[in-house]
Amino acid sequence: MQLQDILYSQGFGTRRVCAGLIQQGLVQVYVSNEALTPVPCTQSATEFEANGLRFRVQGVDWPYQEKAYLMLHKPAGTECSQKPSTYPSIYTLLPSPLRLRPQKAAVQGVQAVGRLDQDTTGLLLLTDDGKFIHRMSSPRHHVPKVYEVTVKHPLDDRQVQKLLAGVVLDDDPQQVQAAACEAVGEFHLRLTLTEGKYHQVKRMVAAVSNRVEGLHRSQIGGLQLPADLAPGQWRWLNQADLALISA
């Protein structure tokens, strides 16, 4: 694949813009997996094997990714929307190439896999793989998501058992129930869900006469939010991570 096409596929702008970056000497390429230092490449039509390629654009190293899969530690006070209404968008936390990756659909760049409320923190997945988004979002696949919930009133066994048995939400006649639930502390509930209704955790906790004061998603499938990933930071998912999500 030509170098300008590789950069285009990774979100560095139109093919003309990518060719300009290359011709200006702003792109360097690691010629092998063992190479420690990239070499300049000023010919936009130079051919490379895309898979496994690493390159540097304007001083920043990038791996070629046919499809982008990321995790983000969502901070409080952000919205999972391209057009936020009140708070900053989570997409402003990502570098522009991830936001501009070309897609066949009208929307460019990576998209959040589901949403977290503006005041909810924790693990959020993003990708430009539509099939992955559908698979993760479909209730048929029952991907478990673990939430750490801080509640206003002291927890008791009755509340935990009701959440496990199932509660009725105000606009849904069918019961919803937790896949797992435990009181970790007097005001700390660990709740596992396999579906994602609107404000589901908050409404389930309200249904057992309590109130959510803080909400954090710590795990999706078998993938836990890394302790060293600070709020607002992101990183690539590797194959082991992807396997954990669907495990």
* Residue from 5, 117, 119, 129 carrying the catalytic annotation: 117
Within 13 Å and on the Cβ side, how many CA atoms surround 50? 14
Q: Residue 84 is inside which H or E element, if any?
A: none
Phi and psi at residue 64, in whole multiples of 5°? -70, 130
Q: How far apart are CA 51 and CA 186, in angstroms?
A: 51
Closest CA to 55 of 129, 3, 19: 3
Q: Is 155 in a helix, a strand, or coil? A: coil
Which among 135, 110, 86 is positioned nearest to 11, based on CA atoms? 110
Q: Which amino acid is at 183?
A: A
Instruction: State yes or no: is 117 an active-site residue.
Output: yes
The C-alpha atoms of residue 184 and residue 165 are separated, in whole angstroms, by 19
Catalytic residue list? 117
